[in-house]
Structure 1
């Protein structure tokens, strides 16, 4: 059944305009973005399949555009629209981190790195560079590795810090296995980068490890 076959009061667009977006179920809200389904599968069924496959909105927003290729009924236009919504969420969080010290919003920092690194199929190491007031200057993905390891070069992290005139950094990387538990290698890398950045008076405030639906802070674990 297509949306136009539903009674007017049950159509997602009409429900949203009458009662607000909170009145819509998850699949109805996503169906508004997708607009159309495919032969044999209405847009509500397509939206429900997406949410089931990626474990709800949290999982959906952590995916990359290429992850949607596997879903029948998602052509280039729909994939582009989904990728655009995900990027808007990332930029909204980035703008919030640019306006005030990261200490004022540690949860947003975790949400930001989760949106950047969650769902990646290989290991990615990134750095949030901060100014002297600990506001975000730039997010940089510096190194990409295999599913099990990545090579991180301290001189490149330091070079970028100097180019941006950063006062501090927050390190972040993902574990494609989905387990966010920091490893001994993560601890050793953190100490190596702390030492290298200290030579140019840049502080390492934290190192965040992104897993499946979870972000672990080494600072909160007392591992810094």
Structure 2
């Protein structure tokens, strides 16, 4: 990368200033490591981001879609999927150490990584013990592109099976709009009432959109 000062190279910049100082193109360049004919790695990274639209769209591409882009192949796709999976597992382990409540932003980040890009609406539950540590997390219901049927009896049943003392709920809006609907608020109230009968509380309900996460607790709805 002729003409670029050494301290401005992505690798050196990360070491000196931290990963948060890098642009999307610089982060992608570190991952790619090498350019292609006629393009250095930074030029290739910038080209790919413009061609795909964003890092998120690049990450969400299927193997066939990914390999259609210049400079990318199956081996790079496999490496990227491994990185994405490691990130999700890291976030999951962070929650399972008991950070679900002490780090609400980490919880939002984890839930967003799990639900944001799903094409159908999914209803997700974090089952917590009496110290608010995560016992189990799972998708209980999955619906069409715009709705999911949520059955309070099933939520109560699974909560008792896991011996949960509290829950954190989440679901995605495939439309990308995170604003909760009246239906979302009604089912949350029904779940609160049903779970209260067996002394299980709902600590929060997150609605995952495209780049935004809405918290029922922060809105004062719980």
Could you state the TM-score of these two structures normalised by the residue count of structure 2?
A: 0.80
Contact 1:172 1:210 in 2 (8 A): yes
Match of 2:88 in 1: 90
Please tell me whether residue 174 in structure 1 is matched to residue 175 in structure 2. no
**Which range moved further: 85-94 or 139-148?**
85-94
Contact map agreement 2:124 2:137 (CA 8 A) in 1: yes
> Which segment is superposed worse, 147-156 or 72-81?
72-81
Q: 1:15 to 1:216 in 2, by over 3 A?
A: closer
Match of 2:136 in 1: 138
Q: Displacement, 1:97?
A: 2.1
Pick the aligned partner of 1:127 from 114, 125, 128: 125
Q: Distance between the aligned counterparts of 2:46 and 2:176, measured in 1?
A: 23
Question: Could you tell me how far apart the structure 2 residues matched to 1:68 and 1:82 are?
Answer: 14
The Cα shift of 1:11 comes to 5.2
Distance 1:151 1:66, change over 3 A: farther
Instruction: Give the 3-state SS of the residue equivalent to 1:208 in structure 2.
Output: strand
What are the Cα deviations for residues 174-201 of structure 1, in whole angstroms up to 9, with x where unaligned? 1111111110010111122223322332
State the shift of 1:13 in Å: 4.2
Query: Secondary structure of 2:141's match?
Result: strand
Contact 1:154–1:192 (Cα < 8 Å) also in 2: yes
Pairing 1:31-180 to 2, within 5 Å after superposition: 31-38=29-36, 42-52=40-50, 53=52, 55=54, 59=56, 64=60, 66=62, 69-70=65-66, 72=69, 73-100=71-98, 102-180=100-178
Q: Deviations along 1:34-92, whole A, 9 cap, x unmatched?
A: 23455565543342245454545xx469x546388356144332223222222222222
Write the distance in 2 (CA, Å) between the matches of 1:86 and 1:39: 27
CA gap 1:49/1:7 in 2 versus in 1, 3 angstroms: closer
Cα shift at 1:170: 0.6
Distance 1:47 1:120 in 2: 26
Aligned residues: 217
Gaps of 5+ in 2: none
Q: Go from structure 1 to structure 2 and tell me whether the alpha carbon gap of 1:183 and 1:68 turns closer, same or farther (over 3 Å shift).
A: farther
> Which residue of the partner structure matches residue 206 of structure 2?
208
Q: Secondary structure at the match of 2:146?
A: coil
Contact 1:171 1:206 in 2 (8 A): yes
Q: Is the 8 A contact 1:68 1:74 kept in 2?
A: no
